[in-house]
Amino acid sequence: MNTQPLTPHQRLTLKGMDTEQLIQLIREAAANFPDTSLIVTPRIDQSGQAYYWVGLRYGSTELDFVLPLNRNIEAFILCFLLKGKDGLTYISDCSPDPTMTRGINWLQYHHYRHLEYAQEIRDYIRYSKGRTFRNRKLTFPFGSIVYSQEIENALSVNRTI
């Protein structure tokens, strides 16, 4: 059972920042707030581009934003999830890689690659605005990755994501 107190966060959605600025924001939050954590939801947009919907939590604030991906950014996020500010790597290229999802089931591939690093795995059903979602949450020392899939009927859920 989780005994950590619930921290209410002021949530703000960021728009208009480029990928390099968002990476820098993560670096600055981690450097200045020891409680910084990330909530990452991997997704693929309509054009097939991989991205993360990120919740950057520090202090009493959560900043939500879209972070387009390439392999270096994906590794940067995993390193942060595992080691916090001590794991932040240098990224020379912040441009999205449109080929990351070609020829593979990227979300499933992402899940299996990150599963081995998780401290805890939790499956649950979530309801939002009349819709039902099957979620799997992988917990890391400095945040989590949440895989979410909409389902039609919660009673027909199969256990794999």
Q: Is residue 19 part of a domain?
A: yes
Q: What percentage of the chain has pLDDT greater than the value 90?
A: 66
Least Cα distance to 161 among 120, 123, 119 occurs for 123
Q: What are the pLDDT digits (tens) for 51-79?
A: 999 999 998 889 999 999 999 999 999 99
Residue range(s) defining the domain that contains residue 140? 10-156
User: How many independent structural domains does the chain possess?
Assistant: 1
Q: Is residue 4 part of a domain?
A: no
Binned at pLDDT 50, 70 and 90, residue 29 comes out as very high
Q: Is residue 1 part of a domain?
A: no
Q: What is the dihedral of CA 118, 120, 123, 125, to 10 degrees?
A: -100
Q: Is residue 145 part of a domain?
A: yes
